[in-house]
């Protein structure tokens, strides 16, 4: 081997180990960086004219566990879905309140029942009759508050959909741009690893909104496909369209066209509806809240309100057909075809409220009573107490029992609690899966101990190649001195 060939081999060796040291330092520096793929140097023998010419750098490999990443993304999507539902049911459960809390729905109903019993025992007491009216106002106010929160939560879910759609569209555009930049890097012989790290981080963010799977394409590019086969990115980025609804009322629904649905524009392939394409993930969770979970709770609350009105009407014999009783729909009788949102319109009849020109003695003598009856007559108060304690099955809503008003309110809370418990269990399970897959992903990431061992080998190889160059230099100096 000639002196020049020896020098060339040593220089190529120094170049290779310098690049290897650069990759090791990058790996160590990013050991805790999310979405960072460990770099490994790919080397090959260099030849010139069939003769060995040192070492050449074939490229830089980005090492990641694609299977663990794919599983992690699906788990993150399901976690986002369950987290949205668990947070909602926990919030509503807190608003309704458990029976041991004085501000709970059951506690307001119990106080109303107790006030009726106390008034029936002494119907001549004006203070006890006023206490019945006050407790009825408190009960109605609590129902109104719960309904208002449900409406607010539904509007918040609609805004969340709009926000997530905006983030999703931006992220899909970024993935498409990074795909193009990675292709350019690969075609020019550059290292696209840094761009791939950025793309992985963006896709990880997308996966918390919509479950996606990455499918490899030529030149380092990827396609993003949802579990039902809808392609969101494949040489072009699809975009989602959604229109925010400013004010949402309980009677508004997706089926009626009052609320916006979701459309996909520019996808290279679409399977099923847009809602089916995003099944799972925080975006689907927001749609489930707006169009299913919240309306279901609202329907049951409206059914409880309707049942209160029906019971009060049944107890008061002074009422004519079609007249409102103690509880009213915004001051009037309930239209059975317009029950949606009744809980937000439920009021105590003005005829018993002194603040609105009524009189509390009508709790004893009847809503339509013109003058006071016998002060000792407790028949209506007893009828109220008996009717609200009687077992009934509401004509609307979904309840597991036929019970008293208090029992039905307990069943209403129980259903919300069960949904919250189920969502939290599922959320906990998905959180465990996310952590498990993340651990698997990190296990295949940067091992700093292994990198330090590589660095020792790199140091030895560098010293060896430097020694060759030093020996060649001494040989050349010797020749020059002859």
Structure tokens of 145? 């508050």
Q: Report how far residue 213's alpha carbon sits from residue 206's, in angstroms, rounded to the nearest whole number.
A: 10
Better-predicted residue by pLDDT, 411 or 50: 411
Burial pattern 321-336, b for ≥16 Cβ within 10 A else e, equals: eeebbbbbbeeeebee
Structure tokens of 450? 């292994």
Query: Which pLDDT tens digit goes with each residue over 101-149?
Result: 999 999 999 999 999 999 999 999 999 999 999 999 999 999 999 999 9
Distances (CA, A) of 444 to 220, 253, 479: 20, 47, 52
User: Element (H or E) spanning 46, and its range?
Assistant: strand 38-48
In the Cβ-directed half-sphere of 23, how many Cα atoms lie within 13 Å?
25
Report phi then psi at 332, rounded to 5.
-120, -175
Better-predicted residue by pLDDT, 293 or 61: 293
Query: Which pLDDT tens digit goes with each residue over 38-79?
Result: 888 888 887 776 676 778 877 787 777 888 888 888 999 999
Structure tokens of 405? 């008003």
Better-predicted residue by pLDDT, 309 or 474: 309
Q: Report how far residue 174's alpha carbon sits from residue 224's, in angstroms, rounded to the nearest whole number.
A: 12
Query: Which pLDDT tens digit goes with each residue over 205-249?
Result: 999 999 999 999 999 999 999 988 899 999 899 999 999 998 999
Q: 196: closest CA among 217, 169, 166?
A: 217
**pLDDT for position 132:** 96
Query: Which pLDDT tens digit goes with each residue over 238-291?
Result: 999 999 998 999 999 999 999 999 999 988 888 888 888 888 889 999 999 999
Q: Check whether 152 has a pLDDT greater than 90.
A: yes
**pLDDT for position 50:** 67
**pLDDT for position 466:** 85
Q: Report how far residue 391's alpha carbon sits from residue 402's, in angstroms, rounded to the nearest whole number.
A: 5
Q: 39: closest CA among 445, 448, 439?
A: 445
Cα distance between the two ends of the chain: 21
Q: Check whether 1 has a pLDDT greater than 60.
A: no
Q: Report how far residue 210's alpha carbon sits from residue 327's, in angstroms, rounded to the nearest whole number.
A: 45
Which three-class secondary structure state does DSSP give residue 104?
coil
Mean predicted confidence (pLDDT) in 320-326: 92
Q: Report how far residue 467's alpha carbon sits from residue 482's, in angstroms, rounded to the nearest whole number.
A: 23
DSSP E strand stretches across 131-249: 213-216, 222-225, 231-233, 239-241
Query: Which pLDDT tens digit goes with each residue over 414-457?
Result: 999 999 999 999 999 999 999 998 888 877 778 888 888 988 99
Q: Report how far residue 356's alpha carbon sits from residue 372's, in angstroms, rounded to the nearest whole number.
A: 18
User: Element (H or E) spanning 42, and its range?
Assistant: strand 38-48
**pLDDT for position 414:** 95
Structure tokens of 43? 């080397």
Q: How confident is the model at residue 151 (pLDDT cuts 50, 70, 90)?
A: very high
Percentage with pLDDT > 90 across the chain: 64
In the Cβ-directed half-sphere of 401, how many Cα atoms lie within 13 Å?
15
Q: What is the DSSP letter of 272?
A: S
Which three-class secondary structure state does DSSP give residue 222?
strand
Q: Report how far residue 312's alpha carbon sits from residue 32's, in angstroms, rounded to the nearest whole number.
A: 65
Q: How confident is the model at residue 395 (pLDDT cuts 50, 70, 90)?
A: confident
**pLDDT for position 474:** 79
């Amino acid at each position: 081997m000639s002196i020049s060939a020896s020098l060339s081999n040593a220089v190529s060796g120094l170049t290779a180990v310098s690049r290897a040291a650069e990759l090791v330092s990058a790996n160590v520096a990013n050991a805790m960086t999310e979405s960072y793929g460990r770099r490994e140097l790919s080397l090959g023998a260099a030849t010139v004219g069939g003769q060995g010419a040192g070492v050449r750098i074939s490229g830089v490999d980005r090492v990641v566990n694609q299977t663990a990443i794919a599983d992690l993304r699906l788990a993150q999507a399901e976690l986002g879905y369950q987290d949205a539902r668990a947070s909602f049911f926990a919030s509503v459960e807190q608003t309704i309140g458990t029976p041991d809390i004085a501000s709970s729905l059951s506690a307001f109903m119990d106080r109303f029942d107790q006030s009726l019993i106390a008034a029936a025992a002494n119907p001549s007491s004006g203070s006890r009759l006023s206490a019945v009216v006050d407790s009825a106002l408190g009960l109605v106010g609590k129902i109104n508050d719960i309904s208002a929160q449900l409406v607010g939560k539904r509007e918040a879910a609609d805004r969340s959909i709009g926000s997530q759609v905006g983030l999703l569209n931006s992220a899909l555009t970024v993935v498409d741009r990074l795909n193009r930049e990675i292709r350019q890097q690969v075609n020019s012989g550059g290292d696209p690893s840094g761009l791939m790290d950025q793309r992985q981080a963006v896709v990880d963010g997308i996966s918390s909104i919509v479950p996606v799977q990455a499918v490899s394409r030529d030149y380092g590019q990827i396609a993003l496909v949802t579990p039902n086969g809808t392609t969101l990115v494949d040489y072009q980025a699809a975009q989602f369209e959604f229109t925010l609804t400013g004010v949402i009322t309980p009677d508004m629904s997706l089926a009626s066209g009052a609320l916006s649905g979701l459309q996909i524009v520019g996808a290279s392939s679409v399977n099923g509806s847009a809602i089916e394409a995003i099944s799972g993930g925080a975006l689907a969770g927001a749609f489930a809240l707006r169009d299913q979970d919240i309306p279901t709770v609202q329907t049951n609350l409206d059914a409880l309100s309707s049942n209160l009105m029906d019971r009060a009407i049944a107890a008061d014999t002074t009422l004519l057909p079609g007249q409102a009783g103690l509880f009213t729909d915004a001051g009037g009788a309930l239209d059975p075809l317009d029950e949606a949102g009744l809980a937000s319109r439920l009021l105590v009849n003005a005829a018993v409220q002194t603040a609105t020109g009524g009189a509390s003695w009508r709790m004893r003598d009847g809503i339509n009573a013109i003058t006071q009856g016998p002060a000792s007559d407790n028949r209506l108060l007893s009828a109220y107490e008996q009717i609200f304690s009687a077992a009934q099955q509401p004509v609307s809503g979904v309840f597991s029992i036929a019970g008293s008003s208090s029992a039905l309110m307990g069943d209403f809370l129980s259903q919300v609690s069960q949904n919250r418990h189920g969502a939290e269990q599922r959320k906990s399970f998905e959180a465990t899966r996310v952590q498990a897959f993340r651990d698997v992903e990190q296990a295949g990431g940067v091992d700093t101990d292994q990198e330090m061992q590589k660095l020792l080998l790199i140091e030895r190889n560098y010293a060896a190649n430097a020694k060759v160059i030093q020996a060649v230099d001494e040989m050349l100096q010797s020749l020059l001195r002859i």
